[in-house]
Amino acid sequence: DGGITQSPKYLFRKEGQNVTLSCEQNLNHDAMYWYRQDPGQGLRLIYYSQIVNDFQKGDIAEGYSVSREKKESFPLTVTSAQKNPTAFYLCASSIRALSGRDTQYFGPGTRLTVL
Amino acid sequence: DQQVKQNSPSLSVQEGRISILNCDYTNSMFDYFLWYKKYPAEGPTFLISISSIKDKNEDGRFTVFLNKSAKHLSLHIVPSQPGDSAVYFCAASARRGSTLGRLYFGRGTQLTVWP
């Protein structure tokens, strides 16, 4: 089955540690996205990538980093510089880059808790 | 600043009645709109979309209406069912400009359908 995989479902880290969230898709989609959801805040865009080896900052990129070395993978690193890292993180993908018309499909999310 | 606004954080409707969820946007470049449904601790799932060349799009119990002059869209669910209870997100995108390929999300409306 094609889809978007995010692992793990729940992740705990100590304050000051970097942590990398995994996102893999086998849909052959060009574009991939990372969002963060906080209560009452909706979905806020962290980073997005339209093509391999290229990515753009979203609205809340500070304290995060990404890479896009392979089409199917778009890992997100939450660094110690992120002041409020505890949140629900969602990865998404869409078929074409730079479309403005394509639906984004979401993974199941990773709940990150920083202790 | 929020470019997509969902001013009602919650809506409660009796089973069988109509649910109307509203969304406003400020950016006149937006020309494609989507609605997503989200259950707790899961990724959003796509419901329905509409292009700015239309003013209505229907899919089963779900209908989206677009009023471009008012920069307003609404999602109608008829009849509402208890399984529709979820958070509904409105999203918008533009076919042109530097932000091509990304979606802008509202903060969501929690719909509760009671028996």
Q: Average per-residue pLDDT in chain B? A: 94
What does DSSP assign to residue A70? B
B-chain CB neighbours of A45 within 8 Å are: 102-103
Cα torsion B45, B68, B104, A40: sign:
negative
Whether B110 has a pLDDT exceeding 90, the answer reads: yes
Look at residues A49, A94, A110, A97 and name the one whose alpha carbon lies nearest to residue B43. Answer: A110
Residue B66, phi-psi category: left (phi > 0), alpha (psi -120 to 50), beta (remainder): beta
pLDDT value, residue B100:
66
Q: What is the pLDDT of residues A66-100, one digit of tens each?
A: 999 999 999 999 998 888 999 999 999 998 766 66
Q: Are A34 and A23 within 8 A, CB to CB?
A: yes
If we measure between CA atoms, which residue out of B8, B43, B26, B32 comes closest to residue B91?
B32
Q: How confident is the model at residue B97 (pLDDT cuts 50, 70, 90)?
A: low
Helix (H, G, I), strand (E, B) or coil at A72: coil
C-alpha to C-alpha distance for A28 and A25, rounded to whole angstroms: 7
Contact between residue B88 and residue B108 where contact means Cβ atoms under 8 Å apart: yes
| A40/B9 touch (CB, cutoff 8 Å), yes or no | yes
Record the tokens describing residue B74, joined without a space: 């609404």
- Residue B95, pLDDT above cutoff 90: no
**Among A43, A50, A107, whose Cβ lies nearest the Cβ of B105?**
A43
Give the Cα separation of B70 and B26 in Å (integer): 10
The DSSP bridge partners found for residue B97 are: none
User: Residue A28 corresponds to which tokens in the numbers above?
Assistant: 């052959």
Residues in A closer than 8 angstroms to B6, CB to CB, are 42
